[in-house]
Amino acid sequence: MNTSRAGWAGFRRDRPSLPLVAGVVLATILTGCSTTTGANTSDNASHGVPTDLITASSVDPTQLAATAKKALLADVPVAQLPPVVADTFAVASKPLTDAQLQQLKTCLGARSCDTGHGTLTVAINADFTNNPWWSVRRAEATAQAIAYPQVKRIIFTSSSSGNIAEVLSNLRSLIAQKVDIIVEDPVFGPAVLPAAKEALTAGIAFVTENSPLPNEATASVTTQLPYDLCAMGTGAVQKITAGAGTASKSYALYTGVPGNADAAEWQPCAEKALKAAGWQQAVSGFTQWTPQGETQAANELLASGKDVSAMLYDYSSDTFLRPYIAAGKTPPASFVDTANYSAFNVYDDAKKAGLKAENYVSNGHVWYGRLGVTAGIESKLGVNVPNKVLAPVPVVGLADIQDQNVSGMPANVPLPTLLNPELANLALSAG
């Protein structure tokens, strides 16, 4: 779901002040939650897992809770997160050292880089590289890999045009290079599975994140970390219908390109929930996940004169809302799964124009590359990571997360990112 995105698929909140006792309890709960993270350094050692592996039980619980809140756009107790998700946020909660920051800058300026320590080679593959979403995803995943002392080398490959033949060629190139871990966002769904099977046969951990795979893919990958698209679609409908009041029960439904794996999962769930609430679809269409496609779709919807009360889309709604604001007309209530930081400006402009703006978002899942890195590293180090893991996907009103608006953050960066504005700018320039 993304384009300028964004390719596919998508903070800034003050850290909460948690009492010390609560933090200790939280850490204790996480320790006993599952064996996938290792209870402590001694236990890790007894299971052959390095004692310096960063886990949820080895970091400051207040920082950990704040990072989880930042990433999910809502308060979700860390103890309720799957262990590998909690561990991912644990790594991200620790600020990079000056040396690591310099390493990140070096890595983003090259297709491969060495850290000078560790033994593992992590490969980050991108099915698209034509927009900010993919650029930020690369930086998020690279920053996560650099934070691990076990990682020796990081390799980045990408398809500039989103061509499946090029994607498969890149994946097979990584297999030939005998990397240890491949992190892949499978935009093309099961089309990547032949390469995934080759990777597993070669002893490589093949981890997918964000885009979903079919159920039969279980044996073809090490771990799947899909965005919970069905829960997201259902949650979005619950928010929209609850706030609809006396508005007409009609909606517009959009995605980027026909046949993409993401829309195939979230749209049916949203439509089922809308139908159950008595709503009817008035318009559907495709935008190619480009500003041009989104502007065209918005103008066509506005010009049609159709009384559409809600619009659901899997990327940014900015260019959908702008034509309504310019015309002085109240836009439909909108839900997007990947808002950009520019959404705050659009929301403010609507308010200044005296228009009611009902905008709902879920996290832009641009940080899911971090999940893939953590799952791959833990798997290679002997941690028991489940084959499929779902992180929670809260849907929130844009009005309720105004404190996420960060000074200096580029407008076209997906909301939220775990990068600071300086690194976000660097990610965009690195491509």
- For residue 22, the model assigns a pLDDT of 36
- For residue 49, the model assigns a pLDDT of 67
Closest CA to 12 of 301, 403, 377, 407: 403
Task: Please give the structure tokens belonging to residue 363.
Answer: 């996290």
Per residue in 91-120, pLDDT (tens digit) is 999 999 999 999 999 999 999 999 999 999
For residue 120, is it within any domain? no
The helix or strand, by DSSP H or E, that contains position 270, with its residue range, turns out to be helix 263-276
Q: In the predicted model, is pLDDT for residue 154 greater than 90?
A: yes
Confidence tier at 26 by pLDDT (50, 70, 90): very low
The answer to whether the bond into 410 is cis (omega within 30° of 0) is no
Task: Please give the structure tokens belonging to residue 274.
Answer: 């809308």
> For residues 52, 57, 61 and 64, what is the CA-based torsion angle, rounded to 10 degrees?
70
For residue 111, is it within any domain? no
Q: How do beta strands 151-158 and 112-114 pair? A: antiparallel
For residue 403, is it within any domain? no
Task: Please give the structure tokens belonging to residue 399.
Answer: 């009005």
For residue 79, is it within any domain? no
For residue 353, is it within any domain? yes
CA distances from 281 to 264, 270, 285, 311, 336 (A): 16, 11, 11, 10, 17
For residue 303, the enclosing domain spans 230-362
What CATH number corresponds to the domain at position 274? 3.40.50.2300
For residue 65, is it within any domain? no
Rounded CA-CA distance 4/2 in Å is 7
Q: Are 50 and 377 in contact (CB under 8 A)?
A: no
Burial (CB count <10 Å: 0-12, 13-18, 19+), residue 95 = exposed
Provide, rounded to the nearest whole percent, the portion of the chain with pLDDT above 90: 78
Burial (CB count <10 Å: 0-12, 13-18, 19+), residue 200 = middle
Rounded CA-CA distance 340/317 in Å is 9
For residue 29, is it within any domain? no
Q: In the predicted model, is pLDDT for residue 11 greater than 60?
A: no
For residue 237, is it within any domain? yes
The total of structural domains in the chain comes to: 1
Terminal Cα distance for the chain, rounded = 18
Confidence tier at 389 by pLDDT (50, 70, 90): very high
- For residue 12, the model assigns a pLDDT of 25
Which pTM was predicted?
0.87
Task: Please give the structure tokens belonging to residue 409.
Answer: 């953050």
Per residue in 32-54, pLDDT (tens digit) is 333 333 333 334 443 456 778 99
- For residue 245, the model assigns a pLDDT of 83
Q: In the predicted model, is pLDDT for residue 153 greater than 50?
A: yes
